[in-house]
Every structure is written in C-alpha cells, then in structure tokens.
Amino acid sequence: MWRMSTSVTVTTWSLEQTSHADLRPSLEPDPATSGVRIVRAEVPSPEFSRFLYTSVGADCAWTDRLPWSYEQWRAFLERPGVETWVAYDRDTPAGYIELDPQDDGQVEIAYFGLLPAFRGRRIGGHLLSVGIARAWDLAERRPDRTPTKRVWVHTCSLDGPHALANYEKRGFRIFRTETGEEEKRPVTGPWPGAR
C-alpha cells in the first residue's frame, strides 16, 4: 500500500559575518519611484509581530512560534536589545527583520522575510542590508550591550528560493551545513484553512 511521506529532507545553512566590513549592502531602492522605507518598530507589540511572523512565514512553513502565548511573545519582544525593523512599501508592511542579541557580542537574525506580494521587487536585499547594519551598530542604541563582534543567521531549503543567495550577496559566509529529515510542517498562513 502506498503511503504519503510524513517527512521531508531539509538542508540548513548557518552563516555568519565577523566584521562590519563583511557587509555588502544592496542598492537602495530609488525613493522617488519605490516608496520603500524601513522603520524600527519601537513599541513591542505581540499582535504586530505575530502578524509579521505568520504572514511572512506562511508559505515557508514557519511553525515554531505558532503555539506561543501573548505573554511569550511579549517576554521575547521586551528582552533588552531585541529589535524588529519593518519594511514599508507606500506605508503598507512589506516584510521584517528581527534581531536577537546574545551573549559575547553576538546578534542573531532570528527572522527575516517579505510578505508574498512584495517578493521579487528588490525590497529584500535592501531590508536585509539595513537589518545587518543595525545588528552591527546595536550597541550604539543599547549602551548596556557589548559591541557586536558577530552577526549570524540560519536559513533552510524550506525558505524562499532566493534566501541563501541573498545572505551570501550581503557578505555572509556559510560556517555549517546540515541535512536531515524533518516532519512535514503544515502551510498555515495568516488565515488557517484558507488555501
């Protein structure tokens, strides 16, 4: 009897920059024609962060934070140094990058991506460039933080088809590659069951 597989092979790449000089920024969209701006979400908002997480990660099967309660979201967002930078296209949220500072001057890019309608419009490279620059200068905004010595991120084969290339174009280097089987994750989206 034929059975549908409940697992999928996933490759995960861990990447890093170890100097601000590693950053190779993308070209900034022309402000006269694009209407794109990137702004820090300065008020921790579990509702807004969950909206970004589910909307950006829907077709990439981001599921690890779906069970988080309001209190878990709030506790994470209120940790010292956690920052969310949001790309807006003509005042509409287009995507985000979330910075998670760790010990010893390390900053993880915890999440990064665009809502599906804004992909392929050269917004992602610019948002990633701004987010990386903000990871490197985080201690300037947070004097209680150790100056950044390393920015790192991981992406996997379930993420968008251009994710790995975008990180490498911005100056990240792969330091670890892992391949394994994972249980298939549901594609949920901001409206479960709507697809």
pLDDT in tens, 25-40: 998 876 666 789 999 9
Q: Write down the mean pLDDT value for the chain.
A: 89
pLDDT in tens, 130-182: 999 999 999 999 988 999 999 999 999 888 888 999 999 999 999 999 999 87
User: Contact 56/48 with Cβ under 8 angstroms?
Assistant: no
pTM score > 0.75 for this model?
yes
d(CA 167, CA 152): 10
Q: What's the CATH number for 9-183? A: 3.40.630.30
Give the pLDDT confidence score for residue 194 in this predicted structure: 39
Q: Domain segments of the chain: what residues?
A: 9-183
